[in-house]
A and B are shown apart, each in its own frame.
Chain A
Amino acid sequence: MASRHVVAAADEIPPGGRKIVNVRGRQIGVFNLGGEFFALINVCPHQGAKLCEGAILSQLVSDGPGDYRLERQGEMIRCPWHCWEFDIRTGQSWCEPNDVKAKTYNVTVEPGGTLAKGPFKAETLAVAVERDYVIVEM
């Protein structure tokens, strides 16, 4: 049964920002993409590097040799070691989206007032009624 973990106040992670949090002994990267929040395990499925600490980049697309365009700016994370790129929304690897994935977690944002009713776990945060919080399900 998944449990819900309060990992950050929503305004702690601005759009384009990220926070690495610990949930049940696992490091998770929480990302804000234009107001939507996403969470990935901080482990690259290739060789175990801290994936979520890599560069946040765009998706590069091309219609053919010499054509270079950016799409979905700021929605890809690149592993700090071998430069493998992953979609922050889905955890899918750009190169092999069906075969190589970083584990993702459901993320919701809820007002502190609702959270006060529980159930949730806030290991390191004190929840204030007047703020919104990022909840990771694990």
Chain B
Amino acid sequence: MNVTLRETRIDSPGRQYMGFVDCDVHPFFRTPADFDPWLSAKWREHRVTVGNRSRQPLHKGSLYPRMSPGNGMRMDAWPSAGGPPGSDLTMMQEQLLDLYDVRYGLLAPLVGGAAAERNLEFAAAMAHAVNEWQAAVFCDPDPRLKASVQITIEDEDAAIAEIEKRAGDARFAQVNIPPRGLEPLGRRRYRKILAACAANGLPISLHLGGTSGHASTGGGWPSYYHEEHPSYVQTMQTLVISLTTEGVFDEVPDLKVVMVEGGFAWWPSLAWRLDKTWKRMRAEAPLKMAPSEYMRRHFWVTTQPMEEPERPEDMLQTIEWIGPDRVMFSTDYPHWDQDDPRYAFKVKLPDDWARLIYRENALSLYRLD
């Protein structure tokens, strides 16, 4: 029983959150033609005739449809002028950026299909177009918004070129890499891309979700979104396991990894299990330190969708085990399961933790201000 849920609390909001940095904001396009200004004639035509081709049976729809229209949108975020939630900057400002005096918003552009596209040339073209679109449509009009560099990780040359093109552009804060890939991110074939991110001072953002063609659980395809939603989190854990045990951080010591929208309460148990198993199997993974040490040094988590422990105070124990310097607040606006900064934590955070989680961790990681 979650006793705090009985309280309305609307009349007595804490103010710890004001001026927070939102580490997960979703920009959307009004129509797919929004990307056309940055596509060549060839790819404009391809977009209209063939379109995105990922490794799933439905051309446009979701295999695991969400419970609200727009594939899981906050119902009060549909712009009156038309277009989907997240496509109207004015509304985003009213409902999020201005309402809470958001200091910065990190954009997570889950649009354009580059992440899962099988045609790598088209994927690279869409990644480029989405990057230009984020900057022109969101970051230039509202400099609080910081873009994430889209890449196509299956094309190393194109990915590195896109990373290098955005390096030094203050509108871009990180590189977005889909967690559901063909292989776990620690595998050697992705190492040069990770090194390019680190060399250019860009953390990588692993935003949960996507389609890789692999079943969403190790035991096959679930039937329901109710299972798909938690299965995303298992993939996030796979990447922690892969990146720590493959020795990536010994080779790329400046790499910083942000786990976005995966929640975080799974961290302590995973860290313990990694260390315990590594003690037995370390001949397979000759690391310089225990896997949990790499987690403590190289990983950050964003908060949404906030776990809601049965006893709200257990949240404090969880954050203590992770380290409050590793946790960054996020809303996931305008998705259905977004968190409201006023009410997301069902327990009051110590003030020094709140400063870190709502603001300072993100300001320092992304070198903002």
Compute how far the CA of A46 lies from the CA of B67 in the bound complex, rounded to whole angstroms.
18
Q: Does A45 contact B (CB under 8 A)?
A: yes
Main secondary structure of the interface of B (DSSP, over half): loop
Task: Report whether B8 and A45 are in contact in the complex, using a CB–CB cutoff of 8 Å.
Answer: yes
Compute how far the CA of A11 lies from the CA of B133 in the bound complex, rounded to whole angstroms.
49
The segment from B120-128, B156-164, B257-265, B334-342 found at the interface with A is B334-342
Identify B6's interface contact among A48, A55, A82, A100, CB under 8 A: A100
Task: Report whether B5 and A48 are in contact in the complex, using a CB–CB cutoff of 8 Å.
Answer: no
B344: chain A residues within 8 A (beta carbon):
47
Number of chain B residues whose Cβ lies closer than 8 Å to a Cβ of chain A: 22
Main secondary structure of the interface of A (DSSP, over half): loop
Q: In the complex where A48-B10, A80-B75, A80-B76 touch, is A99 in contact with B3 (Cβ < 8 A)?
A: yes
A53: chain B residues within 8 A (beta carbon):
75-76
Number of chain A residues whose Cβ lies closer than 8 Å to a Cβ of chain B: 20
Task: Report whether A81 and B8 are in contact in the complex, using a CB–CB cutoff of 8 Å.
Answer: no
A-contacting residues of B (Cβ < 8 Å)? 1-3, 5-10, 67-68, 74-76, 336-340, 342-344
Task: Report whether B74 and A48 are in contact in the complex, using a CB–CB cutoff of 8 Å.
Answer: no
Q: In the complex where A53-B76, A83-B67, A83-B68 touch, is A100 in contact with B340 (Cβ < 8 A)?
A: no
Q: Does A96 contact B (CB under 8 A)?
A: yes
Q: List 21 A-B contacts (CB under 8 A).
A: A43-B8, A45-B5, A45-B8, A47-B339, A47-B340, A48-B340, A48-B343, A50-B76, A55-B75, A80-B76, A81-B75, A81-B337, A81-B340, A82-B337, A96-B2, A99-B1, A99-B2, A99-B5, A100-B5, A100-B6, A103-B8
- Expressed in whole angstroms, the minimum distance between the Cβ of B17 and any Cβ of chain A is 12
Contacts of A124-138 to chain B: CB distance below 8 A: none
